[in-house]
């Protein structure tokens, strides 16, 4: 008798749990529809079907830290942030190969431009400043 009673309670529990999940799913879908109706149309799409015209961008590299032959036909400009984990990964894993294979052979001149993103990396500006000072001192 106890096994039948526990089975019936288990069935009741499963039925109420499924109903609860259905209600939660419905609420989630209604909330999504409400949010979608409040977002202006085309927010993710351009209302201008014309393609933007390409622009020439000129970047001065005067005073930018560099390594490699000044007469190299190829220049690589890295824009980096000292607190960015991906920039750090590039510096530790990829840059040594670039230096060995291209910079030291005279094929590439490598420049580094500091682009500290202080909104998400609060110490990036100070780190960039310290790196420039160290570079000026030859360290």
CATH number for 82: 3.40.30.10
Q: Please say if the pLDDT value at position 104 is more than 90.
A: yes
In this prediction, residue 132 has a pLDDT band, given cuts at 50, 70 and 90, of confident
- For the ranges 41-45, 57-61, 113-117, the maximum mean pLDDT occurs at 113-117
Based on the fold, state whether residues 131 and 79 are members of the same structural domain: yes
Number of domains within the chain: 2
Same domain as 120, residue 83: yes
Query: Of the given ranges (9-13, 97-101, 107-111, 127-131), which has the lowest mean pLDDT?
Result: 9-13
Residue 83 vs residues 66, 79, 97: alpha-carbon distances, Å: 20, 13, 22
82 within domain boundaries: yes
pLDDT class of 33 with cuts at 50, 70, 90: low
Do both 70 and 132 map to the same domain?
yes
d(CA 10, CA 78): 62
Question: Is 60 a member of any domain?
Answer: no
Same domain, 78 and 112: yes
Specify whether the CB–CB gap between 124 and 88 falls below 8 A.
no
Residue 3 has pLDDT above 60, yes or no: no
pTM above 0.75, yes or no: no
Q: Is residue 56 part of a domain?
A: no
Among 27-41, 67-81, 116-130, the minimum mean pLDDT is found in 27-41
Query: What is the arithmetic mean of pLDDT over 101-118?
Result: 93
Torsion, Cα 66 67 73 78, to 10 degrees, reads -50
Which residue range forms the structural domain that includes residue 115?
66-136
Assess if residue 28 is contained within a domain.
Answer: yes
> Rounded to 5 degrees, what are φ and ψ at 89?
-65, -40
Do 74 and 129 lie in a common domain? yes
């Amino acid at each position: 008798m106890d096994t039948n009673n526990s089975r019936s309670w288990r069935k009741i529990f499963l039925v109420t749990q499924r109903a609860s999940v259905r209600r939660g799913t419905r609420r989630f879908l209604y909330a999504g529809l409400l949010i979608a109706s409040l977002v202006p149309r085309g927010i993710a799409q351009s209302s201008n079907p014309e393609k933007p015209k390409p622009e020439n961008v000129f970047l001065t590299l005067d005073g930018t830290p560099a390594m490699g032959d000044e007469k190299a036909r190829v220049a690589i400009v890295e824009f980096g942030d000292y607190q960015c984990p991906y920039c750090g990964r590039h510096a530790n894993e990829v840059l040594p190969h670039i230096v060995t294979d291209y910079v030291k052979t005279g094929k590439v001149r490598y420049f580094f431009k500091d682009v500290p993103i202080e909104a998400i990396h609060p110490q990036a500006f100070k780190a960039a400043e310290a790196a420039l000072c160290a570079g000026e001192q030859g360290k």
